[in-house]
Amino acid sequence: MQPTLSPARGLARWLWIAGASIAATCFIALGAGAAHAQGNDQPRLKTESPYFFVKSDDPTVDQLPLKSTKVDVRISGVIADVTVTQHYKNEGQRAIEAKYVFPGSTKAAVYGMNVRLGDRLITAKIREKQQARIEYDSAKKEGKTAALLEQHLPNVFQMNVANIMPGDDVMVELKYTELLVPQAGNYQFVFPTVVGPRYNSPQSSQAQSQWVSKPFFPAGQPGGAAFDIQVAIASPIGLKEVRSASHTIEVTQQTDERAAVALQHSTDAQNNRDFILDYRLAGDRIESGVMLFRGNDENFFLAMVEPPKQVPASIISPREYIFVVDISGSMHGFPLNTSKALLRELIGSLKPSDSFNVLLFSGSNRFLAPHSVPATRANIEQAIHTINQMGGGGSTELIPALKRVYAEPKAADVSRTVVVVTDGYVTVEREAFELVRRNLSQANVFSFGIGSSVNRHLMEGLARAGMGEPFIITKPEQAAAEAARFRRMIESPVLTSVKARFEGLDVYDVEPVQLPDVLGERPVVVFGKWRGEARGQVVIEGQSATGPYRNAIAVGAHIGQDTAALRYLWARHRVAALSDQESLEGGDSHRKRITDLGLQYNLLTQYTSFLAVDHIVRNLAPQDTPSVNQPSPMPQGVSNLAIGAEVPGTPEPETWGAIAVLLSVLAMMARRARRTDARRFTA
């Protein structure tokens, strides 16, 4: 005789089967949500996304041709001149083409490239981008050694070196300059070392770009290339507090005005995070004034004027804050933990008159509350509790998240501030800038980049488009200080309605055309050209918290020969302004103007490239030459989940619904089971 189940056991079994069925339904919904998060029902192709490096089985091909990167930085006053030397060597038995995607400073004006091949020096020429690619491909097919430098984004470059023969040592030198603008008396030089893995959204204008599908070493595995950087600083005012929050450095103070900085020897990887160098000047002063350069055809000037000190606002209007927080796979671990620390500081410091909401996004997005809520202690504690439970996983759909924010109704008498918190590992920069700028009347935007190698192009561009300010946080302990700086900045702009006048100095082609409000202790910076005599004064006017503001700086008769970089810096700023306008208008409406600027001023842009070609045919079988994509280390603190993997994180909306149904049904069945057991025991 077969044993029979008791009613209670039968109910328990039915309950288990029902629960398992509903759970399976939820997992199917979760899988569907994850697939939807990727943009379609099919897996993303390897050619569209970053991937882990797997060494080829062919022993004749050198898979890691980049041997080292050396950086020499010379800072004179407020201008940094940088030489980057990439050393390639073919230790295999076949000729190869090396391809290397690497980062650059968002403020860099790249003005030169040289290639050293043995005892020969090849100086690169600036070319229109498509023409440079045609000439490079032709040289490669002819068996000539050639190097091509292209810009994919203002902070993402690619170097291609064709026909590197077995045993070849190839040294490629890049030269760029950038302006160091102090904030609150602090000067900062940043050298990015690695391009983080990008989630390639189908909505992106970069969706078909091959550079996105670059290889990475798994997290914790060091790259094969050595990295070294040396910095020489010279300032007429005097230096103090030379330090680095990113690397262990050795500082040699040569005089009060000069210092040398070098990396301290370490067995840890040095090229998996931004190199960040901070320093201050004696007395917390800044180098304000007018710099002049007289060229053969054009003269250039740079005016840097220190703004008034911040004054606390006596009356602060109610504000609404919407925090847009990235919880995708690349944020898993250290970046998300840092974001939590930041949000606890930001939300915890809101005033009762403020209101707020938090939008969490990965492949989908959700608000913590249907609408913004008052910043009461109970609401703040509930939000912080929810944030503490967040996990990282999924793709990074920034555009739908921003669109949802702008779709939220806003009271006419409330000023809205949007705060975006992310590592920026996306390819929708252009689309994001356009969206923010088109909605500037609804809200201003501040950005917080979290991580050791964030996408500074995105963070700075969002803030620039939203008339806000970017913040970069590389360590959790920096969250409190940056949150406090953010609060000071938004409470009371230092200077509004800012205008520049030039008395006695004949100027033209002034950048920027319209000066933005000054939100922090950051100087007013004006570029331009001048003609005639170097005389007169630059007058900065505006409205400060205490009333009208005016500051006049005399134009000195001294014209420095060490200020030739002003030519490149002006052109770089003009290119950036045109690029911003192009993003707003869509398409490539300013292609010709940007191309002409690149060709005239010898600058790398999105439409111009540097090309160096050796005249000697060295590879007699160029058709048999394989291409090698140089892998990059995973940025420090970023897990392997940033590449093609999903982890349990914030479920998609449909999954939340399935989970809610599951919990409700299980609760109902549990109540029925308890009533059945109670009746049986009573009987």
For residue 354, the domain's CATH number is: 3.40.50.410
537 and 473 part of one domain: no
CA distance linking residue 159 with residue 99, whole number of Å:
6
Contact 102, 174 (CB under 8 A): no
Instruction: Give 586-623 pLDDT, tens digit per residue.
Output: 778 899 999 999 999 999 999 999 999 999 999 999 99
Is position 137 within any domain? yes
- pLDDT given at position 561: 62
When pLDDT is averaged across residues 542-570 and rounded to a whole number, the result is 83
CA distance linking residue 630 with residue 622, whole number of Å:
20
Instruction: Tokens for 542, please give them.
Output: 């505006």
Q: Indicate if the pLDDT at residue 231 is higher than 70.
A: yes
Q: Indicate if the pLDDT at residue 420 is higher than 50.
A: yes
pLDDT band with cut points at 50, 70 and 90 for residue 171: very high
pLDDT band with cut points at 50, 70 and 90 for residue 492: low
Is position 605 within any domain? no
CATH of the domain at 146: 2.60.40
- pLDDT given at position 293: 93
- pLDDT given at position 602: 97
346 and 268 part of one domain: no
pLDDT band with cut points at 50, 70 and 90 for residue 5: very low
552 and 473 part of one domain: no
pTM here is 0.84
407 and 501 part of one domain: no
pLDDT band with cut points at 50, 70 and 90 for residue 559: low
Q: Indicate if the pLDDT at residue 502 is higher than 70.
A: yes
- pLDDT given at position 223: 80
Backbone φ, ψ for residue 461 (5° rounding):
-70, -40
Is position 590 within any domain? no
Q: Indicate if the pLDDT at residue 16 is higher than 50.
A: no
Domain boundary among 491, 509, 534: 491
- pLDDT given at position 204: 77
Q: Indicate if the pLDDT at residue 120 is higher than 80.
A: yes
- pLDDT given at position 72: 98
Is position 289 within any domain? no
If DSSP codes are grouped into helix, strand and coil, which group holds residue 323? Answer: strand
CA distance linking residue 3 with residue 280, whole number of Å:
84
- pLDDT given at position 192: 96
pLDDT band with cut points at 50, 70 and 90 for residue 661: very low
Q: Indicate if the pLDDT at residue 222 is higher than 60.
A: yes
Q: Lowest mean pLDDT: which of 67-81, 323-337, 377-391, 447-461?
A: 377-391
Instruction: Of 624, 649, 662, give the one whose Cα is nearest residue 96.
Output: 624
26: enclosing H helix or E strand:
helix 7-37
- pLDDT given at position 424: 94
Q: Indicate if the pLDDT at residue 652 is higher than 80.
A: no
- Residue span of the structural domain in which 177 resides: 51-284+610-629
406 and 487 part of one domain: yes
pLDDT band with cut points at 50, 70 and 90 for residue 544: confident
Q: Indicate if the pLDDT at residue 275 is higher than 70.
A: yes
What is the CB-side half-sphere exposure of residue 500 using CA atoms within 13 A?
Answer: 27
Percent of the chain with pLDDT over 70: 85
Beta bridge partners of 610: 126, 149
Instruction: Give 620-638 pLDDT, tens digit per residue.
Output: 999 999 999 999 999 999 9
Residue 670 vs residue 423, higher pLDDT: 423
Is position 364 within any domain? yes
366 and 270 part of one domain: no
When pLDDT is averaged across residues 627-650 and rounded to a whole number, the result is 78
Q: Indicate if the pLDDT at residue 17 is higher than 70.
A: no
Q: How far is CA 96 from the centre of its chain?
A: 32
545 and 524 part of one domain: yes
Instruction: Of 349, 334, 387, give the one whose Cα is nearest residue 634.
Output: 334
Q: Lowest mean pLDDT: which of 42-56, 70-84, 217-231?
A: 42-56
Is position 597 within any domain? no
655: enclosing H helix or E strand:
helix 653-682
Residue 41's identity, in one-letter code, is D
When pLDDT is averaged across residues 168-174 and rounded to a whole number, the result is 97
Q: Which residues contact 533 (CB under 8 A, 6 or more apart)?
A: none
224: enclosing H helix or E strand:
none
Domain boundary among 444, 467, 491: 491
Residue 464 vs residue 13, higher pLDDT: 464
Is position 18 within any domain? yes
CA distance linking residue 183 with residue 488, whole number of Å:
13
- pLDDT given at position 367: 95
Contact 676, 8 (CB under 8 A): yes
Instruction: Of 192, 332, 215, 426, give the one whose Cα is nearest residue 638.
Output: 332
Max mean pLDDT among 40-44, 232-236, 274-278, 578-582 falls in 274-278
Backbone φ, ψ for residue 182 (5° rounding):
-75, 155
Residue 305 vs residue 279, higher pLDDT: 279
Percent of the chain with pLDDT over 90: 57
When pLDDT is averaged across residues 495-524 and rounded to a whole number, the result is 86
371 and 477 part of one domain: yes
Is position 584 within any domain? no
> What is the overall mean pLDDT for the chain?
85
504 and 378 part of one domain: no
When pLDDT is averaged across residues 57-76 and rounded to a whole number, the result is 95
The count of domains in the chain is: 4
194 and 148 part of one domain: yes
Q: Indicate if the pLDDT at residue 314 is higher than 60.
A: no
- pLDDT given at position 596: 98
- pLDDT given at position 140: 97
479 and 520 part of one domain: no
Q: Lowest mean pLDDT: which of 310-314, 324-328, 387-391, 399-403?
A: 310-314
Q: Lowest mean pLDDT: which of 68-82, 351-365, 443-457, 651-665?
A: 651-665
When pLDDT is averaged across residues 420-433 and rounded to a whole number, the result is 93
- pLDDT given at position 660: 44
Tell how strand 258-263 and strand 249-253 pair up: antiparallel
- pLDDT given at position 42: 41
Q: Indicate if the pLDDT at residue 111 is higher than 50.
A: yes
- pLDDT given at position 316: 57
SS (H, E, C) 569-581: HHHHHHHHHHHHH
If DSSP codes are grouped into helix, strand and coil, which group holds residue 17? Answer: helix
68 and 98 part of one domain: yes
116: enclosing H helix or E strand:
strand 109-117
Q: Indicate if the pLDDT at residue 43 is higher than 80.
A: no
